[in-house]
Amino acid sequence: MPDTPGFDLNFLSLFEALHHERNVSAAARTLGLSQPATSAALGRMRKRFGDPLFVRTSHGMVPTPLADEMAPAVRDALDTVRRRIAGRSSAEPASQPRTLRLSVGDASGMVLLPRIVQRLQQVAPQWRIETESVHPAALPRTLENGLCDLAMGNLYMLGTGIYRQRLLGTEYKVVHRRDHPRLHEGLSLQDYLAAGHAVMRSPGAPPSVLEVALARRGHHRRVVLTVPQFVLLPSVVAETDLIATVPAHVAQAFAGAYRLAVWPLPLPMPELVLYQYWHQRYHTDATNKWVRTTIRQVFGKPGGS
């Protein structure tokens, strides 16, 4: 760190924006600056610290080891200024340009994103929304570092330090092609367990709520195909004798387009609940709290754990 005399405190905001956005243009929008002004300030900051700080790669502006070492101190300093001096509630979050980053899988995104985007376009038209699917093992660190503001889905394995809030509940449905040679008049548990299954599982992910529930009942499915995304299932199910167990909204979305039959899961199963998740570091953050509240209002009464 340089000596403090003559140190430009504006560097802290610029550093934070670049470390979060990984992109000069996005950081400029966050700060309300032009891209040339932001690039020039980055040049002065690099000279001041004697380090590139952020290096352009195919994955965006990646922080150097020095920048990663500085990041916690910069965040703490800015948090102190905002909370104790500037007053973090003085600016309405919706009035400021911002990039909201959400980690959401394809199935959860199908039912959550349309309503979230519609609402945010109404109340925060200057906001931009970016989604990605972060591996569950990496999510706690990703949320802690602010690389994603919220995660969404049914992610019971995230561990301590993570808050969650219920958004909505759904159930599982079973889909198969309408002219399936053995499934004509319903789906019994015997039929279900005897059939070949196409299953969605992200690489390295822990067993799903469904798999855990089946194992507890001593049931075993004959898994023939595993894919990393739900969107890959319907075309396979439509052209083979495999069946798939998917959330109800996924079954509804695919049934008409792919001529699939839809049946209830032939055994009792707990409700599949979709949550929004955030790290305790941002629990009292004004902007994070505002967007959580806004999203929760889209889906009904508040509630959480």
Q: Could you tell me which residue, 21 or 123, shows the higher pLDDT?
A: 123
Structurally, the chain folds into a number of domains equal to 3
- On whether the CB atoms of residues 121 and 295 are closer than 8 A, the answer is no
In a domain, 124, yes or no: yes
In a domain, 130, yes or no: yes
Structure tokens that stand for 271 in this block: 């409700």
- The residues pairing with 225 across neighbouring beta strands, listed in sequence order, are 198
- Band the pLDDT of 229: cuts 50, 70, 90: confident
Residue with tokens 């089946």: 214
Structure tokens that stand for 58 in this block: 């195919």
Residues 54, 192: Cα–Cα separation, whole Å:
53
In a domain, 160, yes or no: yes
Q: Mean pLDDT across the stretch 18-40?
A: 87
Give me the domain span that covers residue 292. 95-167+276-299
- The residues pairing with 274 across neighbouring beta strands, listed in sequence order, are 168
Same domain for 106 and 131, yes or no, is: yes
- The residues pairing with 278 across neighbouring beta strands, listed in sequence order, are 163
pLDDT over 50 (residue 3): no
Classify the phi-psi angles of 82: left when phi > 0, otherwise alpha if psi is within -120 to 50, otherwise beta.
alpha
- Band the pLDDT of 88: cuts 50, 70, 90: very low
Residue with tokens 């000069």: 24
- Over its C-alpha atoms, the chain yields an Rg (Å, rounded) of 23
How does pLDDT run across 59-73, given as a tens digit for each residue?
788 999 999 999 988
- Band the pLDDT of 244: cuts 50, 70, 90: very high
Residue 218, classified by CB atoms within 10 Å of its CB into exposed (0-12), middle (13-18) or buried (19+), is exposed
- On whether the CB atoms of residues 298 and 180 are closer than 8 A, the answer is no
Same domain for 183 and 257, yes or no, is: yes
Q: What is the DSSP track for 133-161?
A: ---GGGHHHHHHTTS-SEEEE--TT--TT
Same domain for 79 and 100, yes or no, is: no
Q: Mean pLDDT across the stretch 124-140?
A: 88
In a domain, 21, yes or no: yes
Same domain for 258 and 186, yes or no, is: yes
In a domain, 211, yes or no: yes
CATH (domain of 213): 3.40.190.10
- Any idea of the CA torsion for 208, 135, 278, 112, to the nearest 10 degrees? -70
Same domain for 264 and 189, yes or no, is: yes
Of 86, 103, 134, which residue sits at a domain end? Answer: 86
What pLDDT is recorded for position 54? 93
pLDDT over 50 (residue 302): no
Structure tokens that stand for 18 in this block: 């670049």
Of 86, 110, 132, which residue sits at a domain end? Answer: 86
How does pLDDT run across 171-200, given as a tens digit for each residue?
999 999 999 988 877 789 999 999 999 999
- Band the pLDDT of 101: cuts 50, 70, 90: very high
pLDDT over 60 (residue 301): no
In a domain, 295, yes or no: yes
In a domain, 2, yes or no: no
- On whether the CB atoms of residues 107 and 246 are closer than 8 A, the answer is yes
pLDDT over 70 (residue 91): no
Same domain for 223 and 157, yes or no, is: no
Q: Which of 69, 96, 62, 254 is nearest to 175 (CA)?
A: 254
Same domain for 249 and 116, yes or no, is: no
Q: Could you tell me which residue, 298 or 205, shows the higher pLDDT?
A: 298
Residue 125, classified by CB atoms within 10 Å of its CB into exposed (0-12), middle (13-18) or buried (19+), is exposed
Of 86, 112, 134, which residue sits at a domain end? Answer: 86
Same domain for 195 and 261, yes or no, is: yes
CATH (domain of 41): 1.10.10.10
pLDDT above 90 coverage of the chain, percent: 50
Same domain for 146 and 289, yes or no, is: yes
Pick the range with the lowest mean pLDDT from 59-73, 204-218, 243-257, 276-290: 204-218
- Band the pLDDT of 84: cuts 50, 70, 90: low
